[in-house]
A and B are shown apart, each in its own frame.
Chain A
Amino acid sequence: MIEITVKIVNKAGLHTRPAATIVKLAAKYKCEFFIYRDGLSINGKSIIGVMTLAAEMGSEIKLTFDGADEQQACDEIVAYFERGFDEL
């Protein structure tokens, strides 16, 4: 299992459009993917779940990946966070 903390770097934060993209990226992989915030664990493959996260610029959230293709999934999704959801 991979555990990693990422920071929200775009101005608008984790709004609806990046939420949808994250779920779409996660759907490509078989591994389990969870997002942790404020003591809650959210399944990263569930759009309605990810939409409950209010993560503004500067906040940090923990991600976990667990399964055969965890490394590839982690690389692609973390890169998307680091690019500020392509909004920088």
Chain B
Amino acid sequence: MKSFKDIYKNSENKIAGIAAAPGIVIGQVYLFAKEKLEISKAPITDVAEAIENFQEALRQSKKELNKIFGIAREKMDEVRAAIFEAQVMILDDPILIQNIESRIAKEMIQPEFIVADEISKYQELMIISHESYMKERAHDIEDIKHRIIRNLQKKRWQSKIETNLIVVSEALTPADTLLFSRRETLAFVTDHGGLTSHAAIISRSLNIPAVVGTHNATQLIKEGDTIIVDGFHGYIITNPTDEQLHFFTEKQKKLQEIQKGLEEFRDQPAVTLDGKEIKLEANVDVTGEIDVVITSNANGIGLYRSEQILNELGVFPEEDEQAIIYSKLASRMYPKFVTIRAFDIGGDKFRISEYKEPNPFLGLRGVRFLLENETLFRTQIRAVLKASENKNVRLMIPMISTLDEVWRCLDIIHECKSDLKREKIKFDNHIKVGIMIEVPSAAVMAKEYAEEVDFLSIGTNDLIQYMMAVDRGNDLVSNLYQEFSPVVVRTIEHIVKAAKHSKIPVSICGEMAADTLAIPLLVGLGLDSLNDVSKYNFIRKKS
């Protein structure tokens, strides 16, 4: 039988990208484009009819939006879904509707032109603002504007999407990804984005194969084409030959067999032949992913990225609001544990307009930002402590690069605990506090750090990026990002030894933990737990 290498070597019809989520899919293409609307400025004769059409478009838009927010409420929690309320309210805005209707009557031109013109005025006001969240708002409103116009033109492309298709797009927002996942999308292919783009992360956690960063897939692939997506190697095959179809169909069958054989392992502990139990934990990005965690029987959440709350809310939530979110998470996972990572702001994760840095990856991010903004840090620590009452919550500090940062964090946590005691608020006084090892300076000094904290977590994505001086999101150099480079393996081994020396647990999070090939190596190096969510949990238990 031919190997993948043979198949790809002789294929003229392949498109190379970055393998973002594993799996092999053969299917038909749905080309998803944020279509450019053609807006007619033609005159009208019947004003009453035009206004009736406008109102009907509003009704239809409201119906669609309510449906999407239903999904958001299911996948996120109530507090966050409430943000969408304002968007629905726009469709009922009396001033906006009145202005549009009176302009239709006065100017006697197509309502779609007037809708576009009126709403764009507000967007311009938002775009000129200095606040970054105002630009997000302008973007949200773009969605509403398009929706009304599309309904005026009686185009229903959203509901036209059929299930079981491969979505090919220039880029995908997390919301797009979430919506498509509900339509049983087979796979995602995008022009832009790297492994750590949020769309890539979400498709991985929802078990949908994806190839990203192809540069020009949307130009090379046509709607309705049959293509092969190889999420293991990062290739797409267009107009496959019989030989290629045969090869990949066989591979799919084989994978299914492995999958079926592994299902039975789900409820068994992950133990290697020499008796070592490996804890499989989950990374959680969207609250909706918890369902995936629970059904996959993970041992707990090894990494909850708390900054996602900021991405969704656009503001720093107050202490009580945070405490509610964390407590909900902790009680849903109980008795399994949840590791909440303090806001990792900066780098590619979340930018704040006041801090325009020339090189955010080497700037004020992670713990550096938290210590600069101590009030905010304290608010979060207090909220995490409040959620720890049932003793299944752990706190983790990101981006540690000096020992002094560790001490300062521990001091602040200690002070927060004393305050809560004085206030007679219940919490876990022995809450485990750990740090991320993702900066080379911390990796080198891992032994000293391990003596100060309760656990270590190796963040392979950043650690490898910083060690190799390569931005994995940059398609031009991402091939230098090599998980199996001896320098990476030796560094991980060094960190694991440091943790063992202090008898504290060490886990790994990042894509490497989900890599079927990397797992035997990581286990061999002595890792206690692997963090990620995917069906490959099963495969991991076997290896």
Question: Which chain A residues have a beta carbon within 8 Å of chain B's beta carbons?
Answer: 11-13, 15-17, 19-20, 23, 27, 40, 43, 45-49, 51-52, 54, 56, 87
CB distance from B72 to the nearest CB of A (A): 14
Q: Tell which of A13, A16, A19, A46 touches B95, judged by Cβ atoms closer than 8 Å.
A: A46
A54 surroundings in chain B (CB, below 8 A): 129-131, 134
Instruction: Give Cα A47 to B85, complex, Å.
Output: 11
Complex-state Cα separation, A12 to B83, whole angstroms: 14
For B, the interface residue count at a CB cutoff of 8 angstroms equals 25
Interchain Cβ contacts under 8 Å between A and B, 20 examples: A11-B318, A15-B133, A15-B315, A16-B86, A16-B137, A16-B314, A17-B83, A27-B94, A46-B93, A48-B96, A48-B122, A49-B93, A51-B86, A51-B90, A51-B122, A51-B141, A52-B125, A52-B126, A52-B134, A54-B131
CB-CB nearest 8 A-B residue pairs: A46-B95, A12-B315, A52-B125, A47-B89, A20-B86, A54-B129, A54-B131, A43-B95
Known: A16-B314, A51-B90, A54-B129. 20 other contacts (CB 8 A): A12-B316, A13-B315, A15-B314, A15-B315, A17-B83, A19-B86, A20-B85, A43-B95, A45-B94, A45-B95, A47-B86, A47-B89, A47-B93, A48-B122, A48-B141, A49-B95, A49-B122, A52-B126, A52-B129, A56-B131
Bound-state Cα–Cα, A50 to B150, Å: 25
B82 interface hit (Cβ, 8 Å):
yes
A residues less than 8 Å from B130 (CB atoms): 54
Closest to A23 in B: B89
Most buried by B among A12, A43, A46, A51: A51
**Per-residue interface assignment for chain B, residues 333 to 375, with 1 indicating a CB less than 8 Å from any chain A CB and 0 otherwise:** 0000000000000000000000000000000000000000000
Distance between Cα atoms of A23 and B318 in the complex (Å): 23
CB distance from A20 to the nearest CB of B (A): 5
Contact status B131-A48, CB under 8 Å: no
A51 to B137 Cα, complex, angstroms: 8
Could you tell me the distance in whole angstroms from the C-beta of B362 to the nearest C-beta in chain A?
28
What chain A residues lie within 8 Å of B83 (beta carbons)? 16-17
B119 at interface by CB-CB < 8 Å: yes
Q: Which residues on the A side are within 8 Å of B133 (C-beta)? A: 15
Cα–Cα, bound, A19→B90 (Å): 12
A52 in contact with B122 given A16-B314, A45-B95 (CB within 8 Å): yes
Question: Distance in Å from the Cβ of A44 to the closest Cβ of chain B?
Answer: 9
- Kindly list chain A residues whose C-beta atoms are within 8 Å of the C-beta of B141: 48, 51
Contacts of B126 in A (CB 8 A): 51-52
Q: How far is the CB of B97 from chain A (nearest CB, A)?
A: 10
Contacts of B78-109 to chain A: CB distance below 8 A: 82-83, 85-86, 89-90, 93-96
Q: Which residues of B contact A49 (CB under 8 A)?
A: 93, 95-96, 122
Task: Quote the shortest CB–CB distance from A55 to chain B (angstroms).
Answer: 10
CB <8 Å contact, A46 and B96: yes
Complex Cα distance, B531 from A75, in Å, reads 53
Chain A minimum-CB-distance residue to B314: A15
Query: What is the CA–CA distance of A27 and B134 in the complex, to the nearest angstrom?
Result: 24
Q: Which of B93, B94, B126, B314 has the most CB of A within 10 A?
A: B93
For B94, the closest partner residue in chain A by CB is: A45
Q: In residues 110-165 of chain B, which contact A (Cβ within 8 Å)? A: 119, 122, 125-126, 129-131, 133-134, 137, 141
Chain B residues positioned under 8 Å from A11 (CB to CB) = 316, 318
Q: Mark B1-37, 1 if CB is under 8 A from A, else 0.
A: 0000000000000000000000000000000000000
Query: For B94, what are the chain A residues with a Cβ–Cβ distance below 8 Å?
Result: 27, 45-46
- For the complex, give the distance between the alpha carbons of A27 and B92 in Å: 11
